[in-house]
Structure 1
Amino acid sequence: MGQDSLPNRTLLIAALLLAAGFLRAERFFFLQMSDPQFGMYANDRDFAQETANFEFAIANANRLRPAFVVVCGDLINKAGDPAQTAEYWRIARKLDRIPLYNVPGNHDVGNEPTPESLAAFRKKFGRDYYTFRHADFEGIVLDSSLIQHPDKAPDEAQRQEQWLKTELGKPPNGVRLIAVFQHIPWFLENPDEPDQYFNIPLAARVRYLDLFRRSGVRYAFAGHYHRNAYGVTPFLHVITTGPVGKPLGPDPSGIRVVWVNDADIESRYYGFGNILNLVEADPRRTGRT
């Protein structure tokens, strides 16, 4: 047996054991942010407060070193505004070798998105729905405004839904956990709650939740509510996160730390006055400020 074959054989055995579930998957954490919404505090007259908040959030991301950062929509307050867009990117680009995943919000593509507003978002911020991968974790980013109000862009809405079905129908290829990231929550607390501004209409909600149930999706992260909320079904956890920008309830501006372990996810929201000094991959070992 050649000398080079032993490392290769070891790697093969490790891969087979991991696939069979005998080795632990990588533990890691990421940060979820939502609603920096440049311009909201001052009704688009300026964005001084949003600048201060987002600078602080990004500085903490660089200090804590998450695997990645997801910003769950309403990146800006006025769709297409060049100054708000430029300021968002000026600060976001300060992330130091940490992947950033942008999610479209209703203030980014419009409450009732059109092909034109979607094209404008894609030009400035990138794709509005896509997947990403870290180790054995897969993130699915959705354009929830297209789901809440598809009427002015029905073809786009249909394409996204078909794309999602295709993605969820693919072989797992080593994926253990799938989480969905969007702006508008499926629901805040109860999967049967009535339609309102802060959730996805029940008709679409039922259809998508059934797809998630059949596909093994167990977590969905959202924003939009400008405060925290948590809802659960027998198969899905919906975590709605407070804002980096202006709060609309008792929860202060802040960020969410999300830990991913062998087969589960745990998360905690931290206001800017209570950011952790250190985050470890195991939440049980993570200290508090």
Structure 2
Amino acid sequence: MTNVLKIQVVAGFLCLISLAGFGQKSAPFFFIQMTDTQFGFFTDNKSFERETENFEKAVAAANRLRPAFVVITGDLINKPADKAQLSEYKRIVALLDPEIPVYHVAGNHDVTNDPRENDIAGYRKELGNDFYVIKHNGMRGIVLNSLYFKSPAGVEKEAAAQDRWLTRQLKKARRASAAPLLVFQHHSWFLAEPEEKDEYFNIPAVTRNKYLALFQQYGVSHVFAGHYHRNAFGKSGTMEMVTTGPVGKPLGKDPSGFRIVKVSGNKVSHQYYELDHIPGQIVLE
């Protein structure tokens, strides 16, 4: 066989491989978003029996359902740096099957409402990085520390580092044509409308508008957050802002529970379930 013929054969073989993979969809999957376990909130830090009961129930349900991963979007404890609360949180999260990855997100009760660098360092020592990427079956999930948007004054260096990193990750996601592109953080950008007034439960409009435009530019499809201790939903262009109720203490009509998110190709669907009414199985499309 001549060298030219060999090259043609190899090229044809590679072409067949490429065509065989062309158009293939990633297998559908689902993950669980939990939020606001917030050990100590029910009793104003006197005890955390109710939080223990709820979180153990949530972890047991996750072990039964077998999600691709679990992401917990902040306020893991109620009193920042409280050793007893954090120890109980860690004990229960360790009950999650080790084959199910768990990802933590920093909340204001984890690093204070006005964090300083030592608060961030303490969180990282106990729970790992506060901004990073989750990848699964083509999906990219960008985990952010929303305190850098909500109250950056004492952590300007870290806020700037996250901002530079975020821009790089959004550009990488666009080049990779990752679908879908999600964001996980503690504070919601808004609860119902992008134009709503600034308040405790959202991120100030001057910052909000900047990042909503950035997310629209790079094709973020969903932002999943907590903090509100109730469910809320809104849209900014094509992007969905999904605020999830708590595993811990509710502050509204929505009972304690968690959200199940299904991903099938470009399609993302989600539903919130009360802890006592978790389905027996998850049916994927």
Please indicate the TM-score interval, normalised by the length of the shorter structure: over 0.9
Aligned partner of 2:264 in structure 1 is: 261
Give the alignment's Cα RMSD to 1 decimal: 1.7
Cα deviation for residue 153 of structure 1 reads: 1.0
The SS at the match of 2:255 is: coil
Structure-to-structure mapping, 1:224-263, within 5 angstroms:
224-263=227-266
Which structure has the larger Rg over C-alpha atoms? 2
Which segments of structure 1 move beyond 6 Å, counting only runs of 4 or more? 5-10
Q: Is 2:125 the counterpart of 1:123?
A: yes
| Distance in 2 between residues matched to 1:281 and 1:113, nearest whole Å | 41
Q: How many residues of Structure 1 are paired with residues of Structure 2 in the alignment? A: 274
Query: Deviations along 1:186-236, whole A, 9 cap, x unmatched?
Result: 000000001000001001100111110111111000000000000112221
Query: Deviations along 1:158-199, whole A, 9 cap, x unmatched?
Result: 111111011111253352111000000000000000100000
Structure-to-structure mapping, 1:55-204, within 5 angstroms:
55-96=56-97, 97-170=99-172, 171-173=174-176, 175-204=178-207
Tell me if structure 2 keeps the 8 A contact 1:112–1:146.
Answer: no
Cα deviation for residue 123 of structure 1 reads: 0.4
The SS at the match of 2:176 is: coil
Percent identity over paired residues: 46
Q: Is 2:222 the counterpart of 1:214?
A: no
Q: TM-score, normalised by structure 2?
A: 0.92
Aligned residue identity for 1:190: E
Aligned partner of 2:46 in structure 1 is: 45
| Distance in 2 between residues matched to 1:14 and 1:109, nearest whole Å | 49
Cα deviation for residue 146 of structure 1 reads: 1.4
Cα deviation for residue 23 of structure 1 reads: 2.2
Q: What stretches of structure 1 of length at least 5 have no aligned partner?
A: 283-289
| Distance in 1 between residues matched to 2:14 and 2:160, nearest whole Å | 45
| Distance in 2 between residues matched to 1:65 and 1:276, nearest whole Å | 12
The SS at the match of 1:172 is: helix
Q: TM-score, normalised by structure 1?
A: 0.91
